[in-house]
Amino acid sequence: MLESLRHSLRRKVILLVLAATVAALALTALGLVIYDLRVYEKQWTDDLNTQAEILARASAPALAFDDRRTATTDLTLMKVRPRVLGAALYTRGGELFATYTKPGLEAVAFPPRPQADGYTIEGDQLRIFRRVVEGGETIGTVYLRAYYQPWERVRDYLTILGVVMLASLALAALVSGWLQSAITVPILEVAHTARQVISQQDYSLRARKITDDEIGQLVDSFNAMLAEAGRRAEALREADRRKDEFLATLAHELRNPLAPLRNALEILRVAPSNPALAEKARSMMERQLNQMVRLVDDLLDVSRITTGKLAVRKGVIDLQATLHDAIETARPLVEARRHELVVEMPPEPIAVEGDRTRLAQVFSNLLNNAAKYTEPGGRIALTLAKDAQEAVVSVSDNGIGLDPASLQSIFDMFVQVDRTLERTHAGLGVGLTLARRLVALHDGTLTATSDGRGRGSGFEVRLPLAGAVRSEVDKARHPGGREGSRRILIADDNADFANSLGATLTGRGHDVRVVYDGAEALATAARFNPDFAFLDIGMPRVHGYEVARRLREQPGTAKCVLVAVTGWGQEDDRQRAREAGFDRHLVKPADPADIDSILKSY
Amino acid sequence: MIALGQAMVAVALLALAPLNAQAQHSEATETSVKAAFLFKFAGYVEWTPADFAAEDAPLVIAVAGAEEIAADLARIVPGRIVYGHPVTVRKLREGESARGAHLVFVGRQESARLAAILRAAREHGVLAVTESDKGLELGAAINFVAVEDRVGFEVSLDSAEKSGHRISSRMLTVARRVLPKAS
């Protein structure tokens, strides 16, 4: 029973209904029995008293006129009360005058003398005496003896309860049978489907919806979860497949440069004295090594993407300069495949907030893809434009194009458009994934368009304009600015020292900010993103060690070169500065030549 | 107290009577039983205020003949109250009318005068009790009869009504015979 309960919802429902019914009935019966036992004695004695009173009144004339026959007839009236076992009349003198014994009973002894008014309970019998009063005079006594069996009554109650309970249980069983169809059948349906899904691993199965109540909602939710689980299982299989392909590709790509490298080494070994051959071998090794470096860099980026550690270091940058960087990077491949590269850019600079290196990586990737996936001698167009809020960079070609179906999937990790074609071009299939992720980190979008296979393709990058800090870009492009210009923050409460150092560095073409305490240094650094910070240690409000620690914590200044400039030059001072995050330590008065060498060495 | 004691003796006699219904005692017990019944009859008649001169006027039982019964009755009644009225006994001399009494008993010794006394009693609204075989036919309301050595009585509702009285139906349950009212 218990074992089947564990497994059957239906039995549980039935048991629940039955238990509730039994409990309710039992409690009701218990209450009734207790109440009735309390009432029973009073009711029964009151009743018998009344009987005695009526009997006394009726038999008074018989007593008065000494008529035993009538008296006996009067007592015989008690026949209608089956619980009355016996009745008797006594004369005023206390003599037994007339008696009645319930028919069928053996003759019972009556008390020889009457007792005082009142009742007594002896065993299962109740005895009552009552005086007969006529015209103000006592003329005799009535005696009644009756059954008094409360337990018999309780037994009757329990019998009734038993019958009622059996009937109720039958009814409850019917009700729970109905409940089963209303509640458990839909649930069993879900359970059945769940078992099937588990055993067959078939996520296309669906539970049948029978009702519109909460169970119906459960069925809907269950089906929705099945659909979701099916999608995820499919996605997992797909991701797994792509990863396998990626590993195969990776092994292939990593092994590809090894054969030429070994060959080159062999050439150097067998012909060390042939300079022309050695040069050829050396340049081959360089090309292959660069290829391997690029592969490993891509691998590192893949790792950063999957672990969510891909980060960009933002500053306001000039998009045209960034694009020139990208063109330079892609130029070898473009030229090797004899493509025509058409570049269109507006004359005025377009500034965005971003990481110049990473964005250049994005654009060069797009250019390289265009060069790769276009037959030699093709045409590649790179245009830069802007609308109200965004800068728009588009790279288009007249190459192999894209299926409409793959317009989205090419951005998935390890997806390559044409695996047969890909075989001729090195790559891991992570370029576009990485590009789109990098653009997203700049709050921008990267989308692909194509009129179809063989009809060329276009990629468009949209980046938010950095309008507010435009002036900085202008300044950076100002003729005064030159190659080697650095952003430098100087913080010292000695204003003369700070200003003079600032003037010197500005004169050498650097972008310099001068502040006079630690708090100001932190505030300025957050906006300015300096490449170098020359910090005094004993500054008001926030001392130099603390400034260094906080600058190291901020992403914008984490890689800033920190130089402590102090009056203390003991080894423990230098040690403390290193622990705070300083890269260098200068002792006042600082030699300008030392400062120059520091600026050049980073 | 004395009166009560006498009453108790009377009732005791009444109670013992059937048990000691021996031949040698029958005469004595019969008179005392009849005396006690006469007194009890008064309790089963539905008297009205018009039957009494005053609220505390006595209820008078007249006895014609039957000296022993009269004597027994006289012993019973002192101190007894029926419906708020003391009970007295009056012996009826020859030629005397029962007028003024509430109940009149005519002994069997007075059979010659029986009809005349009953006529007068009815005229004056007195309930008549006899111990004659033809008592009821002659106009008595209640008549003693002997039943198996015991004293019983019969009732004529017609005669009672003609004398202006109603007898309690409870008393009728022990009457040997009840003559109904003339409709």
| Terminal CA-CA length for chain A | 82
The answer, yes or no, to whether residue B22 has pLDDT greater than 70, is no
pLDDT at B7: 43
Residues of A in contact with B44 (CB under 8 A): 61
Average pLDDT over residues A548-568: 85
A 10 A CB-CB count for A99 gives: 18
A197 occurs within a structural domain = no
Interface with A, mutate which of B40, B148, B153 (most A CBs under 10 A): B40
**Are residues A283 and A408 located together in one domain of the fold?**
no
* Chain A residues 80-119 with CB within 8 Å of chain B: 91-93, 95, 97
A92/B17 Cβ within 8 A? no
Residues A321 and A458 reside in one and the same domain = yes
Contact A92 B16 (CB under 8 A): no
Q: What is the secondary structure of A178-194 as a DSSP string?
A: HHIIIIIHHHHHHHHHH
Pair A535, A547: CB distance under 8 Å: yes
Q: Looking at the predicted structure, is the pLDDT value of residue B15 above 70?
A: no
- Is A93 within 8 Å of B150 when comparing Cβ atoms? no
Per-residue pLDDT, averaged over A94-119, amounts to 87
Which range is least confidently modeled, A157-161, A322-326, B5-9, B175-179? Answer: B5-9
Residue contact B15–A92, C-beta within 8 A: yes
**Residue A22 contacts residue A30 (beta carbons within 8 Å):** no
Same domain? For A576 and A488 the reply is yes
**Closest residue of chain B to A139, computed from CA coordinates:** B11
- The pLDDT of residue A393 is 94
Indicate the residue among A153, A175, A205 that finishes a domain: A153
Q: Cβ of A95 and B15 within 8 Å?
A: yes
Contact A62 B174 (CB under 8 A): yes
3-state SS of A8-61 is CHHHHHHHHHHHHHHHHHHHHHHHHHHHHHHHHHHHHHHHHHHHHHHHHHHHHH
Q: Indicate the number of domains in chain A.
A: 4
CA–CA dist B31, B69 (Å, integer): 5
Rounded to 5°, the CA angle B103-B108-B112 comes to 95
Nearest to A135 among B11, B43, B153 (CB): B43
**Percent residues over pLDDT 70 in chain A:** 93
| Minimal-distance CA residue of chain B relative to A74 | B173
| Binary contact (B150, A66; C-beta < 8 A) | yes
Contacts of the segment A258-266: beta carbons below 8 A, 24+ positions apart: A260/A284, A260/A285, A260/A288, A261/A285, A261/A288, A261/A289, A264/A288
Look at B173 and A70 and tell me if their CB atoms are within 8 Å. Answer: yes
A156 shares contact with chain B (CB less than 8 Å): no
Question: At residue A478, does pLDDT exceed 50?
Answer: no
Q: How confident is the model at residue A394, as a pLDDT?
A: 93
What pLDDT is attached to residue A428?
A: 66
Question: Do both A20 and A72 map to the same domain?
Answer: yes
| pLDDT band with cut points at 50, 70 and 90 for residue A242 | confident
Q: Stretch A78-98: mean pLDDT, rounded?
A: 90
Any bridge partners for residue A88, and if so which? Answer: A99, A143
A274 and A333 together in one domain? no
Which run of H or E residues covers position B128? strand B127-130
Banded pLDDT at A66 (limits 50, 70, 90): confident
In a domain, A204, yes or no: no
What are chain B's domains?
2-179 (3.40.50.2300)
Question: Best of A66, A73, A133, A141 to disrupt the B interface by mutation (most B CBs within 10 Å)?
Answer: A66
Nearest CA in chain A to B82: A135
Give the domain-ending residue among A125, A153, A181.
A153
Q: What is the CATH classification number for the domain harbouring A335?
A: 3.30.565.10
Q: Report d(CA A374, CA B74) in Å as an integer.
A: 158
Question: Any chain B CB within 8 A of the CB of A134?
Answer: yes
pLDDT digits (tens, 9 = 90+) for A487-501: 899 998 888 888 888
Rounded Cα distance, B9 and A132, in Å = 19
Share of chain A above pLDDT 90, in %: 16
Q: What is the CATH number of the domain that holds A112?
A: 3.30.450.20
Q: What is the mean pLDDT of residues A25-43?
A: 85
* β-pairing verdict for A445-450 and A457-464: antiparallel
Whether A433 and A560 map to the same domain: the answer is no
**CATH number for the domain that contains residue A592:** 3.40.50.2300
Across the A:B interface, residue pairs with CB atoms under 8 Å apart total: 48
Hey, of A67, A73, A76, A138, which one would you mutate to test binding to chain B, going by the most B CBs within 10 A of its CB?
A: A67
Q: Report pLDDT for A7.
A: 61
**Whole-number pLDDT of residue A33:** 84
Give mean pLDDT, residues A304-309. Answer: 76
Our measurement of the distance from residue A34's CA atom to the centroid of its chain's CA atoms, rounded to an integer in Å, reads 57
Of A95, A125, A153, which residue sits at a domain end? Answer: A153
Residue A508 sits at the chain B interface (C-beta within 8 Å): no
pLDDT of residue A128: 93
Is A344 within 8 Å of A383 (Cβ atoms)? Answer: yes
Pair (A92, A10) in one structural domain: yes
Q: Of B11, B152, B174, which has the smallest distance from its Cβ to A92's Cβ?
A: B11
Assess whether A541 and A566 both reside in one domain. Answer: yes
**Phi, psi of A441, deg, nearest 5:** -65, -20
Q: Is residue A163 part of a domain?
A: no
Residue span of the structural domain in which A351 resides: 312-464
Query: Does residue A234 belong to any structural domain of this protein?
Result: no
Range A77-98 average pLDDT: 90
pLDDT given at position A469? 42
B38 → chain A, closest CA residue: A65
Kindly indicate the confidence band of residue B153, based on its pLDDT and cuts at 50, 70 and 90.
very high
pLDDT of A562 higher than 60: yes
Mean pLDDT, residues A467-478 taken together: 43
Q: What is the mean pLDDT of residues B60-86?
A: 89
Average pLDDT estimate for B44-64: 88
pTM of the predicted model as reported, rounded to 2 decimal places: 0.44
**Are the beta carbons of B174 and A91 separated by less than 8 Å?**
no
Q: State pLDDT tens for residues A339-385.
A: 999 999 888 888 888 888 889 989 998 998 898 888 888 999 999 99
Q: Does residue A393 belong to any structural domain of this protein?
A: yes
Q: In this structure, is residue A268 part of a structural domain?
A: yes
**Planar angle of CA A520, A522, A526, nearest 5 degrees:** 115
Contacts of B15 in chain A (CB under 8 A): 66, 91-93, 95, 97
Same domain, A459 and A576: no
Q: Are residues A498 and A526 in the same domain?
A: yes
Task: Choose the closest CB to B12 out of A62, A65, A93.
Answer: A93
Q: For residue B82, list chain A residues with Cβ-Cβ distance below 8 A.
A: 135
Q: Looking at the complex, report in whole angstroms how far the Cα of residue B44 sits from the nearest Cα belonging to chain A.
A: 9
The pLDDT value recorded for residue A465 is 87
Q: Name the DSSP class of A110.
A: P
Mutant choice from B19, B80, B143, B174 vs A, greatest count of A C-beta within 10 A? B174
A300 and A429 co-located in one domain: no
Which is higher by pLDDT, A18 or B18?
A18
In a domain, A68, yes or no: yes
Peptide bond into A589 cis (omega under 30): yes
- For residues A315-351, one letter each, b for 16 or more C-beta atoms within 10 angstroms of the residue's C-beta and e for the rest, the string is bbbbbbebbebbbebbeebbeebebebeeebeeebbb
ipTM topping 0.90: no
Residue A284 resides in a domain: yes
Measured between CB atoms, does A67 come within 8 Å of chain B? yes
Gap from B114 CA to chain A (nearest CA, Å): 25
In angstroms, the CA A434 to CA A436 distance is 6
Burial of A46 (0-12, 13-18, 19+ CB in 10 A): exposed
- B166 neighbors B160 (Cβ within 8 angstroms): yes
Q: What is the pLDDT of residues A404-434, one digit of tens each?
A: 877 777 887 666 655 544 444 556 677 888 8
Contact between A61 and B173 using a beta-carbon 8 Å cutoff: yes
Residue of B nearest to A134 (CA): B43
**Range with the poorest average pLDDT among A1-15, A34-48, A565-579, B130-144:** A1-15
Residue A597 and residue A501 in one domain: yes
